[in-house]
Amino acid sequence: MKTIDLNCDMGEGFGVYSLGDDPAMLEIVTSANIACGFHAGDPLVMTQTLENAKARGVGCGAHPSFMDLWGFGRRPILGQSPAEIEKQLIYQIGALQALAHAQGMRLGHVKTHGSLGNMANEDIDLARAVARAIKAVDPNYIFVVMPGLPTEKAGEEAGLRLAREIYADRAYAANGNLASRKLPGAVLHDAEAAAERILGILESGEVLAIDGTRIPVRADTVCVHGDTADAVAMARAVKRRLDDAGYAVEPMAEWL
């Protein structure tokens, strides 16, 4: 049987503000990427998200970002060295790791958020800083990467376990990175079409970019973002299609 993970970004509220339907998503996905306080999240939100994921048997990982609450981590923050960003990542991963440890949990993976992730997928020095940060906190953590891009190369160089990721709700640029959210069609909203697309990617081993380029990919995990209005419906559709196609959908840390 083929095995795949289904992941979603979680815990992206802050203080009195909430975003997304985490309880509903936790009934569907198998891994949760939990915001660590820089683009979203706070100690209480992080703790509650860990508790909810634990209750549903969902694997947990850190979702660090640029320090950008105002822009939700989706603005490029320039002028920082890879070494500076490395320390910020260690800080964020360590914060979630400590909260998990306090309730007898262990994190399994790390996935960068937003502009930080997009930039690391085009800058090998930044990608290596991410890999070093993960390895410094726990060399057994899985590094979630995009196939064929600098994050994959940096993770391989560092000897980290990798989860190669594809996206259900995002279009791709010709270089294999995610298309800019500013472009028409960059964010997909049709749940059934997205589910069909994911199955096609998994079966064919390639993804079609917005310009028609066919990009070879290998996938271990599928991402559905949790902050869109149709996120839960899309996650349900993707999970149903994976089940129907005979995939075992399980947390990445349990089988990678």
Rounded mean pLDDT of the chain?
A: 95
Question: What average pLDDT does the segment 50-63 reach?
Answer: 98
Residue 170 DSSP SS3:
strand
Domain that holds residue 140: 2-254
Q: The pTM is what?
A: 0.95
Q: pLDDT tens-digit profile of 162-210?
A: 999 999 988 899 999 888 888 887 888 888 988 999 999 999 999 989 9
CA-to-CA distance for 134 and 8, rounded, in angstroms? 19
Parallel, antiparallel or unpaired: strands 214-216 and 206-208: antiparallel
Q: Where does the pLDDT of residue 17 fall: very low under 50, low under 70, confident under 90, or very high at 90 and above?
A: very high
The confidence score (pLDDT) of residue 76 equals: 93
Please report how many Cα atoms fall inside a 13 Å half-sphere around the Cα of residue 220, on the Cβ side.
Answer: 19
Q: pLDDT tens-digit profile of 115-165?
A: 999 999 999 999 999 999 999 999 999 999 999 999 999 999 999 999 999
Q: Where does the pLDDT of residue 226 fall: very low under 50, low under 70, confident under 90, or very high at 90 and above?
A: confident
CA-to-CA distance for 148 and 86, rounded, in angstroms? 22
Q: How many CB atoms lie within 10 A of CB 37?
A: 21
CATH number of the domain within which 107 lies: 3.20.20.370
Number of folded domains that form the chain? 1
Where in 49-198 does DSSP place strands (E)?
A: 59-63, 109-110, 142-145, 161-167
Percentage of residues in the chain having pLDDT higher than 90: 86
Q: Is the pLDDT of residue 229 over 80?
A: no
The confidence score (pLDDT) of residue 149 equals: 97
| Burial of 80 from C-beta contacts in 10 A (0-12 / 13-18 / 19+) | middle
